[in-house]
Amino acid sequence: MWSNHINYHCIMRTHQLVLTWIENELSAGRLMVGGRLPAERSLAEQLAVSRTSVREAIRILEAMGVVRAGVGSGPEAGTVVISDPTAALGSALRLHVATQHLPVKDIVETRVLLESWAVSQASPDAPGLRNAAALLAGMDEPGLSVDEFLALDVQFHLALADAAGNAVVSAMMGSLRESIQGYAGRLTANLPDWAATASRLMAEHHQILDAITAHDGGRAAKLVAAHIEGYYQEAGLGPSA
Amino acid sequence: MWSNHINYHCIMRTHQLVLTWIENELSAGRLMVGGRLPAERSLAEQLAVSRTSVREAIRILEAMGVVRAGVGSGPEAGTVVISDPTAALGSALRLHVATQHLPVKDIVETRVLLESWAVSQASPDAPGLRNAAALLAGMDEPGLSVDEFLALDVQFHLALADAAGNAVVSAMMGSLRESIQGYAGRLTANLPDWAATASRLMAEHHQILDAITAHDGGRAAKLVAAHIEGYYQEAGLGPSA
DNA sequence: TAGGGCATGTGGTCCAACCACATCAACTAC
DNA sequence: GTAGTTGATGTGGTTGGACCACATGCCCTA
């Protein structure tokens, strides 16, 4: 698609020219996270293109989680560079799931693969693990609604993924989660006895954390795989797809 | 009816409205891969928005690999639904590498993880493997230029990833490749003796394929990991990042 | 000095053109 | 009758200009 390399001798659409310019600014370090792009009108004049084309490029970067656009004046305004890879990967995966060219089964399988690897690599003293333990404590609180429990569950698993210290794996895990979030939420309605399921999930969570703390990455990986696959099978993924 | 006004300022920007509409059409099965979106002007009228907003939405979908836009008339023209998850993931990863928030080291590590898993899962009679063998034969041809060799190498590794039959893993592998393609190409210049390296790579390729054919997924995975890590270390990734 | 109100600059949206391109049908020349 | 040309049609691609809502900050007034 957009070649990283020389496009100068190729004809390219105007918004791709803008895109290439911005990407070069990023690569060269002249634009950094937290920095701001020139105003749309100004950038259009600089690159001798229309504001429309600049906007199309910015819209793409926004969808990719590379910039955030804000109206008005002040620190929250303007187009500022951020870095949210999960947003891009998540939207893309969700859209392709919608086209039914990415089976949910493959997404779950990939999630098992990545999360198993993450916990197998996690060091017991990784900074994120303390966070994970705190989340577990929060999930033990009585009187939590299903939605509250699931929200904490998502955060717990993301904390596990972060513990491996690989930003790409963390981003992919987050996007996989996001892409099937609606799907997983619907599955919950299939569960015959939510209280029983929740208590089983919590027991498994503690086992996983214990295995990591005990430096037993292999066991942690197996537990995570069983944990995830068990949930989806109980909720009815298995037979349908 | 409520004025557009209130709607898009309180709920979502207009191009997101278009995006949502299209995503719903996809989920509902009214739009499928190979199908065509209404013409931009027509869609704008349908949704009571400007053509500009429709175009911004289509630009995003195009960047996500969900749609391909073609000018003129005939079968190649118009905006048709495709499914190229690799494009989206690859562009996103590349951009975030440019912001230096995704270390190349993590990308290589993730690639090792995914590709190792893929070959460990690959069945010896997977359809893609015959293709992989043919690519290897092509790479044995004498007189191949470095670039030709590397192009075949990319295809070989992607064929390996496809052999596991997981579309998500295949897409992610392709995108990881794409995101560091420029980087890897530059590394080649660091190699002291290309001919020696190429022959070593080929020997390892054959070993990997043999392990898969022998149903020894575990050995294949180990070989792949060593193959990839060895290349990047020889080319100088290790010390720099 | 404290307050209101306008000047400025941002992104968000829309419109009305025009261009380049590709196909197809009608028309013309042979 | 056939072959070639030519224009009509419809597609996305691009542009400039206009207006809006919003947020800040200065300036002027009470």
The larger pLDDT score, comparing residue A126 to residue A25, is at A25
Computed over every residue of chain A, the mean pLDDT equals 91
Look-up: residue for tokens 């795989």?
Answer: A225
Task: Pick out the nucleotide with least CA–C1' distance to A69.
Answer: C11
- What mean pLDDT is predicted for residues A142-164? 93
Least Cα separation, residue A118 to chain B (angstroms): 10
Cα nearest neighbour of B84 on chain A: A96
Strand B78-81 relative to strand A67-70: parallel, antiparallel, unpaired?
unpaired
Judged on CB neighbours under 10 Å (0-12, 13-18, 19+), A66 is buried
Nucleotides of D under 7 A from a protein CB: 9-18, 21-25
pLDDT at site A13? 95
pLDDT at site A114? 97
Residue A1: pLDDT band with limits 50, 70, 90: very low
Closest CA to A183 of A122, A113, A231, A124: A231
Least Cα separation, residue A141 to chain B (angstroms): 34
Alpha helices per DSSP H over chain B:
4-10, 14-27, 40-47, 51-63, 85-98, 104-121, 127-140, 146-162, 167-179, 181-188, 194-213, 217-235, 237-240
How far is B73 from B176, CA to CA, in rounded Å?
35
pLDDT at site B188? 86
How far is B64 from B86, CA to CA, in rounded Å?
9
**CB contact (8 A) between residue B92 and residue A109:** no
**CB contact (8 A) between residue A83 and residue B66:** no
- What mean pLDDT is predicted for residues B26-36? 95
Q: How far, in whole angstroms, is CA A198 from its chain's centroid? A: 24
pLDDT at site A187? 85
Cα–Cα distances in angstroms (integers) from residue B62 to residues A178, B28, B56, in the given order = 21, 20, 10
Chains A, B: CB pairs < 8 Å: 149
pLDDT at site B77? 93
Q: Which residues on neighbouring strands pair with residue A78, listed in sequence order?
A: A70
B5 touches strand D (CB under 7 A): yes
Most confidently modeled range among A6-15, A199-208, B139-148: A199-208
B106 touches chain A (CB under 8 A): yes
Give the Cβ contact number of residue B33 at 10 Å: 14
Cα–Cα distances in angstroms (integers) from residue A112 to residues A140, A151, A228, B37, in the given order = 24, 19, 7, 35
pLDDT at site A237? 60
The 3-class SS string of chain A reads CCCCCCCCCCCCCHHHHHHHHHHHHHHCCCCCCCCECCCHHHHHHHHCCCHHHHHHHHHHHHHCCCEEEECCCCCCCEEEECCCHHHHHHHHHHHHHHCCCCCHHHHHHHHHHHHHHHHHHCCCCCHHHHHHHHHHHHHHCCCCCHHHHHHHHHHHHHHHHHCCCCHHHHHHHHHHHHHCHHHHHHHHCCCCCHHHHHHHHHHHHHHHHHHHHCCCHHHHHHHHHHHHHHHHHHHCHHHHC
Q: From the CA of B139, how many Å to the C1' of C17?
A: 54
Computed over every residue of chain B, the mean pLDDT equals 90
- What mean pLDDT is predicted for residues B115-124? 95
Query: Per-residue pLDDT for B2 more than 80?
Result: no
B13 touches strand C (CB under 7 A): yes
Look-up: residue for tokens 């656009």?
Answer: A69
Look-up: residue for tokens 């891009």?
Answer: A88
3-class DSSP state for residue A7?
coil
Chain B residues with CB under 8 Å of A52 CB are 52
Query: Per-residue pLDDT for A190 more than 90?
Result: no
Share of chain A above pLDDT 70, in %: 93
Query: Per-residue pLDDT for B210 more than 60?
Result: yes
Query: Per-residue pLDDT for A100 more than 70?
Result: yes
The larger pLDDT score, comparing residue A235 to residue B159, is at B159
Query: Per-residue pLDDT for A9 more than 60?
Result: no
Supply the DSSP symbol for A19.
H
Residue A6: pLDDT band with limits 50, 70, 90: very low
Look-up: residue for tokens 């537990």?
Answer: A223
Query: Per-residue pLDDT for B68 more than 80?
Result: yes
Query: Per-residue pLDDT for A2 more than 70?
Result: no
Residue nearest to nucleotide C11 (CA to C1'): A71
In the stretch 47-86 of chain B, residues with CB closer than 8 A to chain A read: 52, 55-56, 59-61, 63-66, 81, 83, 85
Residue B239: pLDDT band with limits 50, 70, 90: very low
Protein chain B, residues 48-107, with a C-beta closer than 7 Å to any atom of nucleic acid strand C: 49-53, 56, 71-77
pLDDT at site B8? 38
pLDDT at site A29? 95
Query: Per-residue pLDDT for B226 more than 90?
Result: yes
**pTM (2 decimals)?**
0.89
Is the Cβ–Cβ distance between A175 and A93 less than 8 Å?
A: yes
Query: Per-residue pLDDT for B10 more than 70?
Result: no
- What mean pLDDT is predicted for residues B103-128? 94
Share of chain B above pLDDT 90, in %: 76
pLDDT at site B187? 85
Query: Per-residue pLDDT for B173 more than 90?
Result: yes
First-residue to last-residue Cα distance in chain B: 59
Nearest-CB residue to A1 (from B87, B93, B101)? B87
Task: Report the complex ipTM.
Answer: 0.89
